[in-house]
Structure 1
Amino acid sequence: MISLRFESELAAAPDTVWRRVTSVEGIADEMAPLLRMTFPRGIRALPLDAFVPGQRLCRSWLLLLRVLPIDRSDLTLVELEPGRRFLERSPMLSMAFWQHERIVAPSARGTTVVDNLMFRPRLLPRALVRAGVALFFRHRHARLRRHFGKGAK
């Protein structure tokens, strides 16, 4: 099992950050231009009010450079603290196990966003997948800091 952690301080209120990181527009912006995650038509945010632990929210394709399908995810939340935290365990074609926890917490600087990841690749070498996932989440956090600004020191 591979574990990774990413943390960013943002210059915005936690509720503002939460709305952004659970919206389809915000997710798309974090991933752009490297990946695009598809969502069914009409979904503008993760349906957190209709959340059933462990039940698939939707099936999404991950598109490299926004066009080339490289993976599929059955987006599934298993825990949710609205406005603060979600825990996703989504079956994926490329991963024997995928878990993504995102925490949005107030801080003296504005908001701290933490992503905790645990995963086990199916086919590709662990070192290659670890490096790719780390690069992608560093990119996502850079996009968050660009959008919200870095928290004051």
Structure 2
Amino acid sequence: MMPLLAMTAPSGIERLTDVPMTPGRPLFHSRLLLGGLIPAGTSALTLESLDPGSGFVECSPMTGMAHWRHERRIVAHGTGCRVTDLLTFEPRFLPRLTAGLIRIFFHHRHRRLRRMFGDRA
């Protein structure tokens, strides 16, 4: 997510599968940091489902959002995969600005994934 945003996690947690999951219960609390430095809020990272290698559904309470749902799907595609993020959210304030920032953030995230793993589409 860097350099745009960092999300803290407890020491020793590097991936979602490092934490025992109960659907609908927070895995841990996290701070959201713009540029990795500026506090921008908090999140209680909460998964409804987790299917390693195939995706997840996250419904995390977080600062600034009345509602947040992030569904990620990973599907085999040719010699690689296709990553799809479906977001539904309701910002508590400045909805148009927030939606634009989220669109920029996920565009950045997908661009970084393509750089890391190659763009075979």
Using the size of structure 2 for normalisation, the TM-score is 0.94
CA distance in 1, matches of 2:11, 2:58: 21
* Residues 13, 19 of structure 2: 8 Å contact kept: no
* Residues 68, 88 of structure 2: 8 Å contact kept: yes
Q: Residue 100 of structure 2 aligns with which residue?
A: 131
Q: Are residues 1:35 and 2:5 paired?
A: yes
| Counterparts of residues 1-12 of structure 1 (less than 5 Å) | none
Secondary structure in 1 aligned to 2:3?
Answer: coil
Q: Which runs of 5+ in 1 are unaligned?
A: 1-30
Secondary structure in 2 aligned to 1:144?
Answer: helix
Q: Residue 111 of structure 2 aligns with which residue?
A: 142
Where is the helix percentage greater, Structure 1 or Structure 2?
1
**Deviation, structure 1 residue 80:** 2.1
Q: Are residues 1:50 and 2:20 paired?
A: yes
CA distance in 2, matches of 1:82, 1:107: 17
Q: Are residues 1:98 and 2:80 paired?
A: no
Q: Residue 69 of structure 1 aligns with which residue?
A: 39
Using the size of structure 1 for normalisation, the TM-score is 0.75
Secondary structure in 2 aligned to 1:44?
Answer: coil
* Residues 20, 27 of structure 2: 8 Å contact kept: no
Runs of 4+ in 1 over 3 A off after TM superposition: none
Residue by residue over 1:54-108, the C-alpha shift from the partner in whole angstroms, topping out at 9 and shown as x without a partner, is 0100101110111111011100001222321200000001100001011111011
**Deviation, structure 1 residue 49:** 6.8
Instruction: State which of 65, 78, 82 in structure 2 corresponds to 1:112.
Output: 82
The residue type equivalent to 2:104 in the other structure is: L
Q: How many pairs are equivalent?
A: 121
